[in-house]
Amino acid sequence: MKYSIEAIGIVHSCYREKFGIPRQPGLVKSAKGAIELLPPCNREEMFNELDQFSHIWVQFQFHEAVADGWRPTVRPPWLGGQKRVGVFASRSPHRPNFLGMSVVRHHGLRREKKGLFLDISGMDLLQGTPVFDIKPYAPYSDMLKEASNGFVKFAAEPVDVQFTPEANEKCLQYEEKTGRSLQTLIEEILVQDPRPASQRLKKREYGMLLWEMNVRWMADGQLFTVFSVKKRS
Ligand code: SAM
C-alpha cells in the first residue's frame, strides 16, 4: 500500500552536514534553528496554545539517507560499530520510509517577510530536513521512568576540548557579529565524541560545518584541539 504525505515545514539548522550532529536531540542544548512552516501550515492559529508546552515532537524524514537506501540490520554506534541489530531495534536514519522523531525545545513563532518560523533548539536535525508533523511533548505520558535504555551505553571515556588562541579569537569574532554562541556549540558537540568507534584510537584531523563556518580539530585520544574556525569557501 502506498500513502503520500506532504511536508508541513523545512528545518533551518546550525548543522550543515551530517558529521557532528549528535545522536539524539537534547544532547547539544546550544544547537539552534527553526522550522519554516509551509502552506497551508503557515498559519499562526495552527499553533494556538502551543506556548503552554516547552518541548515538541518533530516527525520528519531523514532526507539525506534516502539515496543510500536501508538495510534490515544496522550497526549502532553504541555497540562500537561492530555488532548488528535489527533496524527496528535502532534509531538509524537508514530505515523503511526514512522517518525520524525528535523531541526539541521550541521558542515560539516568528513572523518574518520570508514566512512563518517556529524557533527550536537542542535538535539533531540537518539543514533542509522535511518536517511532516509537530506535536506537544507531554511528560505526563511521554516520560517513562520505568523504561530501559537497551544497549545504549553512555560515553565511558570523557573528552577534553581545547581551543588554540586563533580558533578562540575567531569564535569570539563570529559571536560578536552574529550573536550565536559558536564556541559553546562546538564544545557541546565535541564532548559527545562524534568519531566513529573504529577511529577512536587514531590521531586524526576532523572537520564539520556549523552555520557557515568550517570548524577543524585534531583528535588525539580523548583530547580534542580546535585549531581552525573559518568561513567556508
Ligand atoms: N532523534 C531521531 C530519531 O530517533 O528518529 C534521529 C536519531 S538519528 C540516530 C540522528 C542522526 O541522524 C544524526 O546524528 C544525523 O547524522 C542524522 N540526520 C539528521 N538529520 C538527517 C537528515 N535530514 N537526513 C539524514 N540524516 C540525518
The rounded Å distance from CA 124 to ligand 1 centre is 6
Q: Ligand 1 pocket test: pick from 125, 127, 195, 208 the residue with the most ligand atoms within 8 Å of its Cβ.
A: 125
The rounded Å distance from CA 129 to ligand 1 centre is 9
pLDDT of residue 158: 87
- Given pLDDT bands bounded at 50, 70 and 90, which one contains residue 78? confident
Domain spans of the chain, in order of start: 9-142, 160-231
CA-based nearest residue to 116, from 28, 38, 25, 207: 38
The rounded Å distance from CA 161 to ligand 1 centre is 24
pLDDT of residue 29: 97
The rounded Å distance from CA 217 to ligand 1 centre is 22
For strand 130-136 and strand 32-37, is the pairing parallel, antiparallel, or unpaired? unpaired
pLDDT for 101-143, tens place per residue? 999 999 999 999 999 999 999 999 999 999 999 999 999 999 9
- Domain 160-231: which CATH class? alpha beta
Please tell me the number of Cα atoms within 13 Å of 10 on its side-chain side.
7
Q: What is the pTM for the complete model shown?
A: 0.96
Say how far apart CA 151 and CA 184 lie, in whole Å: 29
Counting from 1 in the atom list of ligand 1, the atom nearest the Cα of 101 is 5
Counting from 1 in the atom list of ligand 1, the atom nearest the Cα of 65 is 25
Q: Ligand 1 pocket test: pick from 102, 126, 190, 210 the residue with the most ligand atoms within 8 Å of its Cβ.
A: 126
Closest CA to ligand 1's atom 5 = 100
The rounded Å distance from CA 8 to ligand 1 centre is 18
pLDDT for 19-28, tens place per residue? 999 999 999 9
Helix H or strand E segment including 186: helix 182-190
pLDDT of residue 155: 59
The rounded Å distance from CA 92 to ligand 1 centre is 7
Residue 139 Rama label (left phi>0; alpha psi -120 to 50; beta)? alpha
Q: Calculate mean pLDDT across residues 69-80.
A: 90
Q: Ligand 1 pocket test: pick from 18, 56, 68, 98 the residue with the most ligand atoms within 8 Å of its Cβ.
A: 18
For 37-41, 77-81, 192-196, 227-231, which range has the lowest pLDDT when averaged over its residues? Answer: 77-81
DSSP assignment of 123-185 equals ----TT-EEEEEEE--HHHH--TT---TT----SS--EEEE-HHHHHHHHHHHHHH---HHHH
For ligand 1, residues with CB inside 6 Å are 18, 21, 23-25, 62-65, 91, 93, 100-102, 124-126, 129
> 73 versus 77: which is more confidently predicted?
73
pLDDT for 167-177, tens place per residue? 999 999 999 99
pLDDT of residue 154: 67
Q: Is the pLDDT of residue 202 over 90?
A: no
pLDDT of residue 37: 98
Q: Is the pLDDT of residue 80 over 80?
A: no
- Given pLDDT bands bounded at 50, 70 and 90, which one contains residue 197? confident
Domain 9-142, architecture per CATH = Beta Barrel (2.40)
